[in-house]
Chains A and B, each alone.
Chain A
Amino acid sequence: MGMKAFDIVLADDHEVLIEGLSALINSEENLNVSALASNGEELVKIVKQNLPHLCIVDLDMPRMNGLEASELLLKLYPDIKILILSMHKEKSLLKRIKTLGIKGYVLKTCDKCEFVFAINQILKGKTYFADEINEPFLPEEGKENHLDDSNLKPALLSVREREVIYHLCNGLSNNQIASELHISSKTVDNHRTNIMRKLDVHNVVELVRFCIKNGLING
């Protein structure tokens, strides 16, 4: 009673914003803002002195940005809970954040309800990533049926056709392949047509995909 359960450190370089957030968090009965930081360096320093239950971190900060600071903190304290609060929506960023072991991400456009929910989820040991950026990575389109006969198709290829495939997957043009193999460009073209037919592919992208999937070329 009277003792708030969780200490939170806030890091953001915008003074008005951080004051507002701080008031908002303190108005929750289980949450207490124990310190404020205006850049990444300060955040790390504060956390080293007194480990909070959660850090809420802005990404764009001077001196050390939020990502760098989080990375450093996670190295020092692998179990530390970090919630990122930012405007950025790039998928690459989300990927990076998850790889680092950051527990949550909310956009600065979120409402109070979502923000508090995210905080509590993370404090419970769960994760929270805002819907807007948390689209699942697209599953591989048109996932081929694993029971198909694609693994039998390469057996149909001649040695010459395999040579042509090797060069095609290396990005060579018909003319370049022709001079590489000392044959005419017309002959390369014929090989190419036959390869596409035998492997049931219709263009270079599909050819490369097939070859990688079936181990005809290595990576």
Chain B
Amino acid sequence: MKRMITDAGADVRTISHQMMPRALTEFGLVDALDDMIDKSFANGKIACRFEHHNMEERLPQHIEIGLYRIAQELINNIIKHADAKNVEVQLVKREKHCILIVQDNGKGIDQEGKKGIGIQNINSRLHVINGELNLESDSHSGTTAIVRVDLSKPYGNESI
């Protein structure tokens, strides 16, 4: 019995580590995304390139967490459904916005996919960080997800 409880404790710890990787709190979004992308595509079936511009300064914590989780969700969707060979992740800070682009060359998402659980998760994250998602998809060129976060409002729509 005691053993089981210890194991459960270890599981919870692992899960919460996955939820909030150390790199994210300690080193910031760029490094955390870099690690997450490395891990997600470690089996080498999909090539992924990550680039960032103007991201030397840290973003507010809730935005870093939100963008991290959204990127994770988008990447999981690609791995599960997109049938893609190449993925590009781009993170750019502009004057008042932070833009995250996750683009694949897979088979595109249909209307059904646009209402899926993954997208719902993304939408609830977006709400918190004052962000919007712009999904472009077709069966020839794959899917481009563009997330745009307004940095001029210090706090999101509500706190969680």
**Which of A's residues lie within 8 Å of B, judged by CB?**
67, 90-93, 95-96, 141, 169-173, 176, 203-205, 208-209, 212, 217, 219
Contact = CB atoms under 8 A, between A and B. Distances in A.
Interface string B83-122: 0000010101110010101010000000000000000000
Interface string B56-80: 0000000000000000000000000
Contacts of A92: 23, 27, 31-32, 34-35
8 contacts: A90-B23, A92-B31, A96-B31, A170-B148, A171-B101, A176-B134, A205-B90, A208-B90
Nearest to A171: B148
Nearest to A59: B22
B54 to A, nearest CB: 3
Interface of B: 22-23, 26-27, 31-32, 34-35, 38, 49, 51, 53-54, 88, 90, 92-94, 97, 99, 101, 103, 134, 136, 141, 144, 146-148
A205 B102 CA distance: 8
A219 B92 contact: yes
Given A212-B53, A219-B54, A203 B92 contact: no
Given A67-B26, A208-B101, 7 more contacts: A95-B27, A170-B94, A171-B101, A171-B146, A203-B88, A204-B103, A219-B53
Contacts of A95: 27, 31
Contact of A90 (B35, B49, B54): B35
Contacts of B99: 169-171, 208
Given A90-B35, A217-B94, A203 B27 contact: no
Contacts of A219: 53-54, 92-94
Nearest to B148: A171
